[in-house]
Structure 1
Amino acid sequence: MSLKTATGICKKMPAELSADGSVQYSLQLGDDAEISLNDKLNSQITIEFAGAIQCIHCGRKTKKSFSQGYCFPCMKKLAQCDQCIMSPERCHYDAGTCREPEWADKYCMTDHYVYLSNTTAAKVGLTRGSQIPTRWIDQGAEQALPIYRTATRQQAGFVEDALRQHIADKTNWRNMLKSSAAPINLETLRDELREMTQSALEEITERFGASNIIALDSEKVIDLTFPVSTYPTKITSFNLDKVPSAEGVLQGIKGQYLIFDTGVINLRKYTGYELTFTFSG
């Protein structure tokens, strides 16, 4: 049995959606070439953490990672780590207090989409146009449907806020990792949600203008298929901060999780960690 080893600073797993709807994953450690993971399914993999953590923005060594890969100073100063990223309706760009206005011009003051997705249950979410379908892959969605396009992230946040009074806006990650999703008629759900939120959505449209809040009626549902051979019946998570190694047979990849026969690990949690992967087979 041959062994191959790769070491580097862990980054979020790159993923692409193929024409047939299958998700293709890679592992990226530092700036080295990406390693295909789909062909590692059913192989033995060992992950080891030696204790080194590096900020993914400035490269500073840090004892603890914040906001999925940043040192504390960067977490406090970067716009991408501000509270409005998680709560877009709290955007304070117009107040002149944005941490990085130039960054916001590029990433927040641009087209965003409000969508419905199915991750074993229906949910509402939002994402930048350039992050489709990456956002859906990262959350483990097996169906997705864009239902509104807005001119800014904040506007998408207000639309999402109106909709989430009637539908969840979080993914139950444990359920997502335990089974595939039963199909949902997202077009019907879209129409039902519009009826329930008509008044609130009309107020948002009047506030920002009809050209900035656009209802999408002709978008088609996107289906995604993840590389999973076996779903676990019980979810046990590896924690590299407590036990610096994880090992098992890779049985699936979904969202940003690796599913082993011995447990699951959210690789995005360890962005900025120096990890060593050993592949056998």
Structure 2
Amino acid sequence: MLQGLIRKMPVHVLDGQVQYNLKMGNEQIPLNALIGQKVALQFDGTIECTHCGKATKKSFSQGFCYRCFTKLAACDTCIMSPEKCHHHLGTCREPEWAEKYCMQSHYVYLSNSSSLKVGITRGDQLPTRWIDQGATQGRAIFSVSNRRISGLVETLFKEVVADKTNWRTMLKGDAPAMDLEQEQERLIELVYESLDSLQHEFGLQSITDLSDHNETHTFTYPVIEYPTKVVSINAEKTPLVEGRLLGIKGQYWMLDTGVINIRKYTGYHAKFTV
């Protein structure tokens, strides 16, 4: 048994397969060995803000109380839309936080989760970012000097390729393998002139093409059976979440009773039993 406040599942890769841990408070338990067994999560209705620790009736932005949600830079609109970063205008909610997390190198990448998509992440977040999206392939295509520029580059690619994962499709099985190197070349050709303009605006060192210095990474997930129909479990309506654990992909558990996004319940207190 394990109990405490739920956190995003920590992940690592071993021999090509993603390994998951369930983290509750300061304790963790490996999950891959439990695939095929019946498990249960009992939610007791308690929610705590992961920043200030205060009790909250509702969780915002996956783990925050309303006050922190409206005050923290980590919850600002530019986190979801980095091209809207306003640090350079002097209006950032937390300039010191931004210096640590936003004003550092980021990657623009291609991944294959439900289909081909473009995305961005901090330089220290690969391959975790790909795994959290349930991607079976991932490839960094540009290194950029900060989060805002990564968002501007991503915006160019969003004109020619998706930037979202269809989580329902992702949970029904692995997408067909793609040649991400070939896709990279094709997409860059489509936005080359706009990329050149951005680089001219921000400087030659602001955007580095990784075409000749990178590789495509592949991942497999601990799944023994994919659902034919994806039924989402709402733990607020069904506090006792139980069933046979058929697999884990992204931050989702696939049970024979439905699927649940563990990350969605960050800060919720629960008890886990096998």
Q: Quickly name the TM-score band, shorter chain normalised.
A: over 0.9
Cα deviation code 1:86-126 (max 9, x no counterpart): 00000000110100111100100001000000003000000
Q: 1:16 aligns with which of 12, 24, 27?
A: 12
Partner of 2:229: 234
Partner of 2:135: 141
Tell me the amino acid that sits aligned with residue 248 of structure 1. G
Tell me the amino acid that sits aligned with residue 193 of structure 1. L
Partner of 1:176: 170
Tell me the amino acid that sits aligned with residue 242 of structure 1. K
Counterparts of residues 117-196 of structure 1 (less than 5 Å):
117-196=111-190
Partner of 2:241: 246
Tell me the amino acid that sits aligned with residue 90 of structure 2. G
Distance 1:203 1:87 in 2: 20
User: Cα distance, 1:194 vs. partner?
Assistant: 0.7
Q: How many residues align?
A: 273
Distance 2:104 2:13 in 1: 23
Partner of 1:7: 3
CA contact (8 A) 2:114 2:167 kept: no
Cα deviation code 1:171-211 (max 9, x no counterpart): 00000000112101111110010110011101111111111
Distance 1:178 1:276 in 2: 28
User: Cα distance, 1:134 vs. partner?
Assistant: 0.6
Q: 1:29 aligns with which of 24, 30, 51?
A: 24
Distance 1:275 1:258 in 2: 15
User: Cα distance, 1:31 vs. partner?
Assistant: 1.4
Secondary structure at the counterpart of residue 235 of structure 2: coil
Secondary structure at the counterpart of residue 89 of structure 2: coil
Partner of 1:260: 255
TM-score normalised per structure 1: 0.96
Tell me the amino acid that sits aligned with residue 7 of structure 1. Q
CA contact (8 A) 2:43 2:239 kept: yes
Secondary structure at the counterpart of residue 124 of structure 2: helix
User: Cα distance, 1:81 vs. partner?
Assistant: 0.4
Q: 2:265 aligns with which of 260, 266, 270?
A: 270
Distance 2:97 2:117 in 1: 28
Q: For structure 2, which runs of at least 5 residues remain unmatched after alignment?
A: none
Distance 1:119 1:132 in 2: 15
Secondary structure at the counterpart of residue 197 of structure 1: helix
User: Cα distance, 1:21 vs. partner?
Assistant: 1.6
Secondary structure at the counterpart of residue 120 of structure 2: strand
Answering whether residue 68 of structure 2 is matched by residue 74 of structure 1, we say yes
Cα deviation code 1:52-101 (max 9, x no counterpart): 00000110000000000000000001000000000000000011010011
Partner of 1:58: 52
Distance 1:172 1:58 in 2: 33
Identity of aligned residues (%): 51
Q: 1:197 aligns with which of 164, 185, 191?
A: 191
Where in structure 1 do 4 or more consecutive aligned residues deviate above 3 Å? none
Secondary structure at the counterpart of residue 154 of structure 2: helix
Q: 2:39 aligns with which of 42, 45, 50?
A: 45
Distance 1:263 1:120 in 2: 19
Q: 2:106 aligns with which of 112, 115, 125?
A: 112
User: Cα distance, 1:246 vs. partner?
Assistant: 1.1
Partner of 1:221: 216
Tell me the amino acid that sits aligned with residue 152 of structure 2. F
CA contact (8 A) 2:47 2:59 kept: yes
